[in-house]
Amino acid sequence: MTTSTFDKRVLIEQIRYIEAQQPLACNTENGSPTPSKNSDFEHRLWQRAQSLVKSHDLPQLRHAARLSRYANTITLIVAAILGAMGVNYAVTNLHTINIYWLLLVLLGFNFLSMLLWLTGISLNIKGLTTSMLARPGSWLVTHFKRPKATHKRNKIRTQADRAWLACHFSGAVGKWQLSKISHQLWLVYLATGLVVLVILLMVRQYDFVWGTTLLSDTAFVNLTAALSVPLEALGFATPSANQVMETRIGMAQTLTIEHRSQWAQFLLGALLCFGLFPRILLWIWSALMTTHARRRFRLDYYLPYYIRLHQQLMPLASQGQIIDADTAPPSISETPVLTPVPHVLPDKTQWVAVELGNNVNWPPASVKANNNLGQVVDSDSLASIVQRLQSNHCPVIAVAVSSARPTDRGVQRVIASLMSNCEQRWLVLLHNHENEAVSSTRLAAWYRLAEACKVPVDHVISMNSA
């Protein structure tokens, strides 16, 4: 059976969550020296994840999916029971159906739910898009997990469940997935109510009545006339204004067979036209958007976990100028330190430094003089260098910064403006000494800045400024 791209990425995320707690030994890491592309890297992550599942026997990865199916089945059964109870509640006795009370029970709350959902989708309000009937599904899946996992396999299962839930019920995928569940539950609710109503109308003879204490009789006449317009266009029989008045509670008239048939068709048509059909359309829309969101779902390759795997699985090589390797000894800490790998850049790369200060030498010996655009130290130097980049149409740019300095919005804006018109972008972290240690937190911050400036993760490199 073919595995979708989304399911592959879910499995990769499950492995990441598991390895965040306890690393898994993998002896089949494929790392051929090919050009690095996200698709190639993701394929190798997928191969690695499959290898880990086989070598470590991880059936727990399917635990959350099974619980989700169980929870979905339970909520569908509950929705069906509520739909049947709603119809039964509107039947005031063995021979009488309260018309507008039945419409309120089956269509009123359904209409309010659709209105809130459409408002939530339009304004991107998460609480309104999931609807109340969708919440039990995600709540059950979340709380079926054991709260305390002490055994190794239980810990693995818990982390795998968290990853599965995060992928399926968060972000754009989660919004449309919960929306699809919501419409599905309402469809079951309405369909069950319709089926029960049809069965009751087939085996019993009912009188149709309505009543009011505060509203005028003309309000119900006008409401019936408004609802009858689309029903008549679809071929359903509808009651006239006189027939509506004749069914008011307290009237002595006895309903004819034709009168009962018209009310029955009116009720069934209203359930189809104002209940089931709109829900089916919204369900189809949500299903299509769920598929679209899953296709657009991406792994965050700027996370430290993926950066380290990228360095292991995707050896870097290209033509051009060689940058000195960072031979600093590994630093031992609780959080593994990220190490930007050495790389090679094209000869036509234009170099710019950003606020290096007095602690970092510029330019390094490996940077050619005709490729050095200078250093940004103030707004005037920034404007001058940006103008040169725009006039010369620089296809490849390398922006050098001190690896020891913290990131901030100011330096991010400067780097973004320098790279705005360049096709290939590199971020170079300079250091004066080969054994200069940089914390993993700071390096992770530089990778996040690179992401914001649309610099590929493998284009963040290390260089000695000497």
Q: Quick one: which of 367, 458, 371, 459 has its CA closest to 415?
A: 459
Residue 95 near residue 207 (C-beta atoms within 8 A) = yes
Class for domain 319-464, per CATH?
Answer: alpha beta
- The pLDDT, as a whole number, for residue 152 is 67
129 vs 151: CA distance, rounded Å: 38
430 HSE (CA, 13 A, CB side): 25
Q: Quick one: which of 374, 369, 363 has its CA closest to 466?
A: 363
Show the 3-state SS of the chain.
Answer: CCCCHHHHHHHHHHHHHHHHHCCCCCCCCCCCCCCCCHHHHHHHHHHHHHHHHHHHCCHHHHHHHHHHHHHHHHHHHHHHHHHHHHHHHHEEECCEEEHHHHHHHHHHHHHHHHHHHHHHHHHCCHHHHHHHHHHHHHHHHHHCCCCCCCCHHHHHHHHHHHHHHHHHCCHHHHHHHHHHHHHHHHHHHHHHHHHHHHHHHHHCCCEEEECCCCCCHHHHHHHHHHHHHHHHHCCCCCCCHHHHHHCECCCCCCCCHHHHHHHHHHHHHHHHHHHHHHHHHHHHHHHHHHHHHHHHCCCCCCCHHHHHHHHHHCCCCCCCEECCCCCCCCCCCCCCCCCCCCCEECCCCEEEEECCCCCCCCCCCCCCHHHEEEEECCHHHHHHHHHHHHHHCCCEEEEEEECCCCCCHHHHHHHHHHHCCCCEEEEEEEECCCCCCCCHHHHHHHHHHHHHCCCCHHHEEEEECC
- CA 191 to chain CA centroid, Å, is 29
Length of the chain: 466
As a whole number of angstroms, the longest Cα–Cα distance in the chain is 105
Q: Two tokens at 385? A: 């260098």
* 368: amino acid identity, one letter: K
Beta strands in 291-361 (DSSP E): 321-322, 344-345, 350-354
Residues sharing a CB contact under 8 Å with residue 378, sequence separation 6 or more, in sequence order: none
Q: Two tokens at 337? A: 């330190």
- The pLDDT, as a whole number, for residue 194 is 93
Q: What is the spatial order of strands in the sheet that 207-209 belongs to?
A: 91-93, 96-98, 207-209
Domain boundaries along the sequence of the chain? 61-296, 319-464
9 vs 343: CA distance, rounded Å: 28
Instruction: Check residue 367 and report its DSSP letter.
Output: S
Q: Two tokens at 104? A: 């309120």
State the pTM of this model: 0.77
Q: What is the pLDDT along the chain (466 residues), one digit of tens a residue?
A: 678 999 999 999 999 999 888 888 776 444 433 444 455 788 899 999 998 988 888 877 888 889 889 989 999 999 999 999 888 887 766 678 888 888 888 898 899 999 999 988 888 776 666 555 445 544 544 554 444 445 667 788 888 999 999 999 888 999 999 999 999 999 999 999 999 999 988 888 888 888 888 888 888 889 999 999 999 988 888 888 888 888 887 665 567 788 888 889 999 999 999 999 999 999 999 999 999 999 999 999 888 888 888 878 876 433 333 344 344 433 333 444 555 555 667 778 899 999 887 777 788 888 888 888 999 988 999 999 988 888 878 889 999 998 888 888 999 999 999 998 888 999 998 887 665 667 778 888 888 999 999 998 888 888 877 6
Burial (0-12, 13-18, 19+ Cβ within 10 Å), 330: exposed
β-pair partners for 400? 353, 428
Q: Two tokens at 289? A: 């958007």
What percent helix, strand, coil does the chain show, rounded to 5?
60, 10, 30
39 vs 34: CA distance, rounded Å: 12
φ, ψ for residue 346, nearest 5 deg: -65, 155
